[in-house]
Amino acid sequence: MTAYRGPVFEMAVKQFEVIANYLGIPDDARPRLLLPKRSVTVSCPIHRDDGTTAVFEGYRVQHHLTLGPTKGGTRFAPTVDLGEVAALAIWMSWKCALVGLPYGGAKGGINVDPSSLSKRELEALSRRYMQEMIPFVGPHTDVMAPDLGTNEQIMAWFMDTYSMYQGQTVTEIVTGKPVSAGGTLGRREATGRGVAHLVRRAADELKIRLNGATAVVQGFGNVGSIAALELHNMGVKVIAVSDHTGALYQSRGLDIPQLVRHAASQGSLDGYSNELALDPAEMLTMPCDVLVPAAVERVIDAEIAGKLRCRILAEGANGPTTPEADRILEGRQEEIFLIPDILCNSGGVVVSYFEWVQDLQRLFWEEEEVMRREYQLLDRAFERVLARSGRENIFNRTAAMAIGVERVRSAKETRGLFP
Ligand code: NAD
Nearest-5° angle of CA 52, CA 56, CA 62? 160
- Residue 316 near ligand 1, beta carbon < 6 Å: yes
- 352 marked ligand binding residue: yes
61 membership: H or E segment, kind and range = strand 53-62
For ligand 1, mutation pick of 84, 96, 243 (most atoms within 8 Å of CB): 243
Instruction: Give the DSSP letter of residue 305.
Output: H
Q: Strand 142-146 vs strand 70-77: parallel, antiparallel, or unpaired?
A: parallel
Q: Name which residue sits closest to atom 20 of ligand 1, judged by CA.
A: 243
Measuring CA to CA, which residue among 19, 4, 195 is closest to residue 87?
Answer: 4
Distance from C-alpha of 392 to C-alpha of 388, rounded to nearest angstrom: 6
Catalytic residue flag (residue 107): yes
Distance from C-alpha of 363 to C-alpha of 171, rounded to nearest angstrom: 12
Backbone angles phi, psi at 305, to 5 degrees: -60, -35
Mean pLDDT of 272-280: 97
353 membership: H or E segment, kind and range = helix 347-361
At position 19, the amino acid (one-letter code) is I
For ligand 1, mutation pick of 154, 217, 244, 353 (most atoms within 8 Å of CB): 244
- 191 marked ligand binding residue: yes
Can you tell me which atom of ligand 1 is nearest the CA of 299?
18
Q: Is the pLDDT of residue 225 over 90?
A: yes
Q: What are the pLDDT digits (tens) for 317-354?
A: 999 999 999 999 999 999 999 999 999 999 999 999 99
Distance of CA 31 to the CA centre of its chain: 24
Contact by Cβ (8 Å): 300, 332: no
Mean pLDDT of 268-280: 97
Task: Give the model's pLDDT for residue 227.
Answer: 98
Task: Give the model's pLDDT for residue 37.
Answer: 97
Nearest-5° angle of CA 254, CA 149, CA 162? 140
Catalytic residue from among 107, 177, 237, 307 = 107
Contact by Cβ (8 Å): 409, 33: yes
Q: What are the pLDDT digits (tens) for 165-183?
A: 999 999 999 999 999 999 9
Q: Strand 246-249 vs strand 104-111: parallel, antiparallel, or unpaired?
A: unpaired
Burial class (CB in 10 A: 0-12, 13-18, 19+), 304: middle
Exposure string over 4-33, b if 16+ CB within 10 A, otherwise e: beeebbebbbebbebbbebeebeeeebeeb
Measuring CA to CA, which residue among 199, 216, 203, 210 is closest to residue 286?
Answer: 216
SS3 43: strand
Q: Is the pLDDT of residue 216 over 90?
A: yes
Entry pTM: 0.97
Task: Give the model's pLDDT for residue 364.
Answer: 98
Measuring CA to CA, which residue among 286, 276, 391, 401 is closest to residue 338?
Answer: 401
Q: Domains in the chain, start-ordered, CATH in brackets? A: 36-169 (3.40.50.10860), 189-345 (3.40.50.720)
Contact by Cβ (8 Å): 198, 378: yes
Q: Is the pLDDT of residue 396 over 80?
A: yes
Mean pLDDT of 246-265: 98
- Residue 345 near ligand 1, beta carbon < 6 Å: yes
108 membership: H or E segment, kind and range = strand 104-111
- Residue 293 near ligand 1, beta carbon < 6 Å: no
Q: Is the pLDDT of residue 1 over 80?
A: no
Within 13 Å of residue 24, how many CA atoms lie on the same side as its CB? 0
Distance from C-alpha of 363 to C-alpha of 354, rounded to nearest angstrom: 11
Mean pLDDT of 360-371: 98
Instruction: Give the DSSP letter of residue 53.
Output: E
Q: Name which residue sits closest to atom 36 of ligand 1, judged by CA.
A: 317
Task: Give the model's pLDDT for residue 38.
Answer: 97
Q: What are the pLDDT digits (tens) for 112-168?
A: 999 999 999 999 999 999 999 999 999 999 999 999 999 999 999 999 999 999 999
Contact by Cβ (8 Å): 401, 344: no
Q: Is the pLDDT of residue 44 over 90?
A: yes
Task: Give the model's pLDDT for residue 273.
Answer: 96
Find the 101 Cα to ligand 1 centroid distance in Å.
23
Task: Give the model's pLDDT for residue 171.
Answer: 98
At position 333, the amino acid (one-letter code) is Q
Counts for the chain of helices (H) and strands (E), in that order: 14, 12
Confidence of residue 259 (pLDDT cuts 50, 70, 90): very high
Q: What are the pLDDT digits (tens) for 183-200?
A: 999 999 999 999 999 999
In this structure, what is the dihedral angle of CA atoms 25, 104, 395, 82, given to the nearest 10 degrees?
90
At position 177, the amino acid (one-letter code) is K
Confidence of residue 254 (pLDDT cuts 50, 70, 90): very high
